[in-house]
Amino acid sequence: MIRPGTRAPALLRLLLAGAALTAAAQFEAGQTAKNFRFPDYDKDGRLKSQVFGEYARVLNERAIEITNLKIEVFRGPEVDMIVTAPLCLYDRIGNSAASTSSVRIARGDMVISGTGFSWDAAKQKFVVERDARVVVKGVRKTMEPAQ
């Protein structure tokens, strides 16, 4: 987030504009931003998801490299799922992200971790590419024999 009394760099101001971003917006390779938030709203103005990052660097008109990614996905007014990864490429036009780094997805009593992921906001779809591990809290450690 922007601290009071500081000026937001051009990229950060564009990212904070959220719904105002269009394919015509000018993103120049090499632009950077720190500690940003990029919200995505539905047609009725409800928050669907938001992308946070510690650092972002524009690679081209479409791709932004994000360090220490955090994605919050909403179901109604509540956060339904949180995704974190140390590095990813965010496609601002396609509203999607992908990475070959580690990923952690937390949703309710379940945590999924693995290596590599892809996310498509429009389809509301996450895919963990490999080494997926699912941990469900509160599940009994022993299984009872079948009757």
| Every domain of the chain and the residues it spans | 10-19+26-136
Least confident piece of the model among 44-48, 95-99, 136-140: 136-140
Structure-block tokens of residue 4: 């009071």
What DSSP state is assigned to residue 62? S
Let me know: does 96 contact 121? Beta carbons within 8 Å. Answer: yes
How far is residue 66 from each of residues 32, 57, 69, 95, 97, measured CA to CA in Å? 10, 7, 6, 13, 9
- In this structure, what DSSP letter does residue 61 have? S
pLDDT at 46 exceeding the cut of 80: yes
Under 8 Å CB-to-CB from 143, ≥6 apart: which residues?
none
Mean pLDDT of 20-41: 74
Determine the pLDDT at residue 26: 63
pLDDT category at 32 given cuts 50, 70, 90 is: very high
Task: Give the pLDDT confidence score for residue 145 in this predicted structure.
Answer: 67
Cβ atoms of residues 73 and 87 within 8 Å: no
User: pLDDT per residue over 86-136, tens digit each?
Assistant: 999 999 888 899 999 999 999 999 999 999 999 898 888 889 999 999 999
Q: Which residue has the tokens 């971003």?
A: 21
Reply yes or no on whether the pLDDT at 5 is more than 90. Answer: no
Yes or no: domain 10-19+26-136 corresponds to CATH 3.30.70.360: no
pLDDT average, residue stretch 39-67: 93
